[in-house]
């Protein structure tokens, strides 16, 4: 059973790549934006939203369902919330022995230059992320690093190449977990 989070700045192709990969593998797919309440979009309050996403991933993990989630997950703390839920932000609280173990998630960072992503955003219609905020997303981005479980995939590849690269990484990670 595998949980994958396709992450990156707005316009990096998370939904396109994640849904195509899920379709190819026959897995469940979730788009994090579908769970972002309008009032949170306005305030950009991410923690309750990330906890909801964690709960979805936890449910799918418990039911042994391979799942892909498209989610920006720009900060290391956000990825920790996806992995551990609210306990990731309660740093003053001692670990509770009954707490559920952290989820094992493969983060797929879709990475590319700002000009490519800006070009994609300019062509997009009906999305809440204005092009002017792209620089702030790049400024906010904390690319995944060890010991996080991740791969980085270049946006300069075609969609089929990107999906194939991720699929190979998933197969390798499954083999390592056996």
**DSSP state, 158?**
-
CA atoms within 13 A on the CB side of 158: 3
Q: How confident is the model at residue 37 (pLDDT cuts 50, 70, 90)?
A: low
> Of 33 and 163, which is predicted with more confidence?
163
Domain that holds residue 168: 3-90+99-177
User: Highest mean pLDDT range out of 25-29, 32-36, 173-177?
Assistant: 25-29
User: CB of 54 within 8 A of CB of 62?
Assistant: no
pLDDT digits (tens, 9 = 90+) for 106-136: 999 999 999 888 888 777 665 555 666 888 8
Interval 46-62 mean pLDDT: 93
User: Highest mean pLDDT range out of 120-124, 154-158, 172-176?
Assistant: 154-158
CB atoms within 10 A of CB 118: 13
CATH of the domain at 63: 3.40.50.300
CB atoms within 10 A of CB 83: 21
Average pLDDT, the chain: 86
Domain count across the chain: 1
């Amino acid at each position: 059973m595998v949980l994958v989070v396709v992450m990156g700045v707005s316009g990096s192709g998370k939904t396109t790549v994640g849904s195509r990969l899920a379709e190819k593998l026959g897995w469940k797919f979730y788009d994090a934006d579908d769970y972002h309440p309008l009032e949170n979009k306005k305030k950009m309050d991410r923690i309750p939203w990330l906890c909801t996403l964690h709960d979805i991933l936890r449910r799918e993990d418990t039911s042994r369902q391979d799942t892909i989630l498209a989610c920006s997950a720009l900060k290391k703390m956000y990825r920790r919330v996806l992995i551990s839920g609210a306990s990731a932000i309660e740093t003053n609280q001692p670990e509770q022995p009954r707490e559920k173990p952290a989820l094992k998630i493969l983060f797929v960072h879709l990475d590319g230059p700002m000009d490519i992503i800006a070009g994609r955003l300019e062509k997009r219609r009906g999305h809440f992320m204005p092009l002017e905020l792209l620089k702030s997303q790049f400024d906010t981005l904390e690319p995944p690093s060890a010991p996080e479980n991740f791969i980085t995939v270049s946006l300069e590849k075609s969609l089929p190449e990107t999906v194939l690269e991720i699929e190979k990484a998933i197969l390798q990670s499954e083999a390592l977990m056996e």
